[in-house]
Structure 1
Amino acid sequence: MIKIDSTIVIQFINFVVTIVFLNYLLIKPVREQIGTRNKLITGYANEIATFTESANQKIASYEAALTQARSNAIQAREAVKAEAITEEHKIIAQAQAEAQAFVAQSRQRVAKESQQATQVLLSRVDDFAAKAMNKIFG
């Protein structure tokens, strides 16, 4: 059987002193370190979340800007293409007009030269006829 005497009280006091002593020397500093580390981890987690959110916003912003830039480039390319087609039509129309004018001018010149040649030949028909008559009869 267990006897209850003064040694139990002394052991109980010794136990309480040891717990208090260990609490101040070991448990309290360890809890403080754990608390500090938890605060750091929480702070880092918050920073990571903030950084991730910021990065996602920047990526979305960059993608939107890139999409807008592509759209602007397509519009600019289409505008330049339309302008080039318009300029091409103008140049072709001008070239056709110049070609038609050149053809008309050439036709007029050929007709004029043809008329001049006909007149020269007609004016010399008598000479040719006389020479032909001299060769035949002559």
Structure 2
Amino acid sequence: MINLDITLIIQIIEALLLTFILYQILIKPVMSYIKEREAHFQSLERETQELLASAEETVRKYEEALAKAREEGVRKRELLKEEARKVEKELLAKVMKEVEEYKAKWAQEFAKQLEGVRKQIQSNIEMFASLIVERVLGRKV
């Protein structure tokens, strides 16, 4: 059975005193160290989040710049294609004109040569006629 005398009060005081001393010596420093570590980890987590946000922003800017550069490249390529088409049309028109001129010149030359051959044949028609008669009839006329 429990005796309610002065020793009980002394033991209660001893327990309270021991609790206070242990709190001041052990628990309070450990708790402050744990709080410091928690604050440090929170600051590291904030810094990590800021770095991630900065990296995401940098990647976004890079992608925007890349898209803009691609757009510019496509636009320049189309301009170059259009310019090449114009040059091609000009060259083709020039070549077609030269071909037409050459064709007309050749047709004139051919017509002159044909007329020359006709005149030559016309001048030799008597001779050809006598040759044909000689061959068909088998005698000289």
Q: TM-score of the superposition, structure 2-length normalised?
A: 0.80
Residue 117 in 1 paired to residue 117 in 2? yes
**What's the offset of the Cα at 1:2?**
6.8
1:22 aligned partner:
22
Aligned CA-pair RMSD:
2.5
Query: Which stretches of structure 1, 4 residues or longer, exceed 6 Å deviation after superposition?
Result: none
CA distance in 2, matches of 1:6, 1:133: 171
1:103 aligned partner:
103
Name stretches of at least 5 consecutive residues in structure 2 with no aligned partner. Answer: none
Distance 1:133 1:21, change over 3 A: closer
CA distance in 2, matches of 1:105, 1:119: 21
Amino acid at match of 1:110: F
Residue 88 in 1 paired to residue 126 in 2? no
CA distance in 2, matches of 1:125, 1:13: 159
Q: TM-score of the superposition, structure 1-length normalised?
A: 0.82
- Same amino acid, percent of matched pairs: 27
**What's the offset of the Cα at 1:18?**
0.5
CA distance in 1, matches of 2:106, 2:65: 60
**Mapping 1:1-138, distance limit 5 Å:** 3=4, 6-128=6-128, 131-132=130-131, 135=134, 138=141
Amino acid at match of 2:50: T
**What's the offset of the Cα at 1:74?**
1.1
CA distance in 1, matches of 2:31, 2:133: 146
Distance 1:78 1:134, change over 3 A: closer
How many residues in Structure 1 have an aligned counterpart in Structure 2?
Answer: 136
Distance 1:40 1:133, change over 3 A: closer
Name stretches of at least 5 consecutive residues in structure 1 with no aligned partner. Answer: none
**What's the offset of the Cα at 1:128?**
4.0
Amino acid at match of 1:39: A
CA distance in 2, matches of 1:64, 1:132: 93
